[in-house]
Amino acid sequence: MLFSIYYSETAYNIMEIKTPSDLIIDFNHNGTIDTSEEVFLKDIKVQANPNDKLSKEEEFIFKELAKNYTEDLFFNKKARFKKSKLFINNKSYEELFNSSGYNYLTNTEKYDEIIKYIKANTFYVVNMHNYRVHKYSCKYSLKSDNYRLFKEEELPSKANYCKLCFSAAIKDNKTECFDNTVLGSGNIKIFYTDFTTKLKPDKNCETSVCKELLSRINDTKSTLDIAVYGYRSIPQIETALKNAIARGVKIRLVYDLDKKGESIYEDTKELVKIIPYSVSDYNSQQFIKNTYNNIIMHNKFFIFDDKTVFTGSANLSSSDMSGYNSNTVIVINSSDIAAIYKSEFEQMFNNKFHTQKNKLSNHSNIRVGNSTISVYFSPQDKITQSKILPLIRDAKKYIYIPAFLITDKWLADELILAHKRNVDVKIILDSLNARSKYSQIKNLRTAGIEVKAENYAGKLHAKTIIIDDEITIVGSMNFSKSGQNLNDENVLIIKDTKIAAGYREFFEYLWKKIDNWWLMYIPRAEGEDSIGSCSDGIDNNYDGFIDYEDAGCKNLRSSR
């Protein structure tokens, strides 16, 4: 690995970083490593606190992470010597390293975080010549001249396991998955998709949630009403819709178009061709004046035979239905719930969208089996202000939130107040949206709330809150002002201990799968930080570049 360095106005290459304090520099420009070119930086010290009594393996991991940190500092950066000190982009290497936490004497707080990170994770040594995976204790683990340390869940896809280390198939986090269906009272099913095990989208309709939708369409007898943000091709769903129409099912569709008459999804027009009874919010967009950006019809719900509702955060897209994105979907067998959704659908189908709709009545505290369900719609119900914030204020034990985004300051402020009264508040946010200038992640973290930014290829697309093993809030509405005040959205507030406890278990599973490192930092949505994002064929950060064309991926080294 080569790094450019400047000394006396002359550029040199660093031929090797043996340790953070031991560098080999090609002073004679011959492209080979000479012993006379080894430089020791006496002020750079990797030191663990002896009182921590780290094991030999933990000491090894600590030193390897310090070396990785140094490599990342120098990679693709200009550096130079000045008064016998090494500088990177005019910043002192000594000062940068001493602030990193790899010397407990110079930054105790970050040092403690690194030690917690080491103790909370499992690491393996990988021979980068043959991708053989070893435990540290294996006699072959450090034999290679090109080994690298990997966390268990970030092992290379081509990894193969040393038979001396692993007598049976390794039980790694990459193959671990969660039971993604929670049964409620018999009339309710909740699905949540595990994006930590699905690193590339497909159109195969093989997930439980997609199979459920497909089965419901195939079983529909007379009517099917669909409200979706847009459509990205899923061939089996298209075939099922065509077959339903052929057998006499009346299918109606409402969908979103922007002010230019365009859909966010490329196959929406094909869905409209299949379903002739279709209405978009385009005319409503033209009618509403003085709006910032774009108001959207953001629902994702289906009403089957006026008896069953399928709704939640999942769009009718290959990325959501394949489980590549993490979503929550609820299926409710209840004519009462279906009637409420039908009333909302009829307004939109008759060209009343957004602020033009009328507020519905009698849609709270509907009994469905052992559950009590309230249904709310944006923008008429002002859901966050009038429904969600009071529940946050009443929380006693915990509030767990897996969410695409939180930009609503009112919600963030109430979560901070809950944290101050010792309610356990934990949040997982989508990484791309966590980087938004509107995100409340900085305010929440500064207040002491634990907020993880996910680091997987897919989006954390859920919009869910779980409270005290009692209440589950699910729906299409992001926790933003536009979600509450402008868009067409639907939200369900469910009082059911079994459902809330089941979702809590899934949240805790996701929390464990996302490294504690991301309690402090925010990964790039496309890059080596986000697992699978450089090989999924998706433009994860919407910058026009995919996989290794993206700046976050193109500089990946072969050893990463």
Task: Provide the annotated active-site residues.
Answer: 461, 463, 468
**Residue 379 predicted with pLDDT over 90:** yes
pLDDT at 206 > cutoff 70 = yes
In a domain, 83, yes or no: yes
146-150, 153-157, 309-313: range with highest mean pLDDT? 309-313
Residue range 33-55: average pLDDT?
85
Predicted local confidence at residue 181, as pLDDT: 53
| Residue 147 counted as domain residue | yes
How much is the pLDDT for 37?
Answer: 77
Question: Would the pLDDT of 324 be above 50?
Answer: yes
Least confident stretch, 66-80, 381-395, 461-475: 66-80
**Domain membership flag for residue 555:** no
Q: What is the mean pLDDT of residues 21-36?
A: 74
pLDDT reported for residue 432: 94
**Which region among 75-79, 335-339, 435-439, 445-449 has the lowest average model confidence (pLDDT)?**
75-79
| Listed range (22-26, 488-492, 544-548) with the worst mean pLDDT | 22-26
| Residue 22 and residue 132 in one domain | no
Share of the chain above pLDDT 70, in %: 88
Q: Which of 170-174, 277-281, 524-528 has the highest mean pLDDT?
A: 277-281
What are the residues whose beta carbons fall under 8 Å from the beta carbon of 463, sequence distance 6 or more?
313, 328, 403, 404, 474, 475, 476, 477, 478, 479, 483, 491
Q: Which of 136, 158, 176 is the last residue of a domain?
A: 176
Average pLDDT over residues 376-385: 97
If you average pLDDT over residues 159-174, what whole number do you get? 59
DSSP 8-state class, residue 386: I
Whether residue 360 is predicted with pLDDT greater than 90 in this model: the reply is yes
Residue at 545 is within a domain: no
State whether 191 and 71 are in the same domain.
Answer: no
pLDDT at position 180: 53
114 located within any domain: no
One domain, residues 45 and 188: no
CB-based contacts of 319: which residues, under 8 Å, 6+ apart? 201, 232, 325, 458, 459, 538
Q: Which residue has the higher pLDDT, 40 or 330?
A: 330
- For residues 13-24, give the mean pLDDT: 80
Residue range 167-194: mean pLDDT, rounded: 61
- In this prediction, residues 206-216 reach a mean pLDDT of 93
Average of per-residue pLDDT across 288-302: 77
Rg of the chain, C-alpha, whole Å: 27
> Which of residues 176, 191, 223 is at a domain's end?
176
Chain centroid, CA 185 distance in Å: 30
Q: Does 223 lie in the same domain as 336?
A: yes
Looking at the domain assignment, is residue 409 inside a domain?
A: yes
25 C-beta neighbours (distance < 10 Å), count: 19
Query: What would the mean pLDDT of 271-288 be, rounded to a whole number?
Result: 84
- pLDDT number for residue 256: 96
Is pLDDT of 172 > 70?
A: no
- How distant, in Å, are the alpha carbons of 12, 32, 93, 473 from that of 6? 6, 18, 13, 57
Of 46, 72, 105, which residue is a domain's last?
105
pLDDT of residue 84: 72
d(CA 278, CA 255): 8
Pick 347 or 4 by higher pLDDT.
347
Tell me what the mean pLDDT of segment 293-303 comes to: 91
Does 171 lie in the same domain as 186? no
Local confidence band at 344 (pLDDT 50, 70, 90 cut-offs): very high
Point out the least confidently predicted range of 49-58, 124-133, 324-333, 510-519: 124-133
Give the pLDDT band of residue 214 (cuts 50, 70, 90): very high
How far does CA 345 lie from the centroid of its chain?
A: 30
DSSP state of 430: -
Reply yes or no on whether the pLDDT at 557 is more than 80: no
Whether pLDDT at 559 is above 70: no
pLDDT of residue 167: 53
Q: Do 266 and 401 sit in the same domain of this protein?
A: yes
pLDDT 10s digits, 106-126:
999 999 999 999 998 899 998
Give the percent of the chain with pLDDT over 90. 63
Mean pLDDT of the chain: 87
Q: If you average pLDDT over residues 343-356, what whole number do you get?
A: 96
The predicted structure's pLDDT at residue 242: 97
Q: Report pLDDT digits (tens) over 463-512.
A: 999 999 999 999 999 999 999 999 999 999 999 999 999 899 999 999 99
Please indicate, yes or no, whether residues 52 and 150 belong to a single structural domain of this protein. Answer: no
Any idea what the CATH number is for the domain that residue 425 is in?
3.30.870.10
Residue 77 has pLDDT above 80, yes or no: no
> What is the residue range of 470's domain?
181-519
User: Which region among 6-15, 398-407, 491-500, 535-544 has the lowest average model confidence (pLDDT)?
Assistant: 6-15
Q: Residue 449 pLDDT > 90, yes or no?
A: yes
Inform me whether the pLDDT recorded for 417 exceeds 70.
Answer: yes
pLDDT bin (cut points 50, 70, 90) of residue 554 is confident
pLDDT at 170 over 50: no
65 confidence band (pLDDT: 50, 70, 90)? very high
484 contact partners, CB below 8 Å, separation of at least 6: 378, 379, 382, 383, 384, 385, 408, 477
Tell whether 97 and 211 lie within a shared domain.
Answer: no
What is residue 558's predicted lDDT score, i.e. its pLDDT? 34
Going by the DSSP 8-state scheme, the letter that residue 152 receives in this structure is G
Total tally of structural domains belonging to the chain: 3
Residues 208 and 301 in one domain: yes
Q: What is the mean pLDDT of residues 529-539?
A: 90
Strands across the sheet containing 3-7: 38-40, 22-25, 10-19, 3-7, 79-82, 85-88, 91-92
**Across 256-263, average pLDDT:** 90
Are 401 and 494 in the same domain?
yes
Q: Which residues contact 230 (CB under 8 A, 6 or more apart)?
A: 255, 256, 263, 264, 265, 268, 315, 316, 317
Pair 39, 140 in one domain: no
Arithmetic mean of pLDDT, 11-28: 77
Residue 550 lies in a domain: no
> Is the residue at 113 inside a domain?
no
Model confidence at 434: pLDDT above 90 = yes
pLDDT reported for residue 283: 78
Q: Residue 31 has what pLDDT? A: 67
Question: Residue 221 is which amino acid?
Answer: K
User: Do 395 and 494 belong to one domain?
Assistant: yes
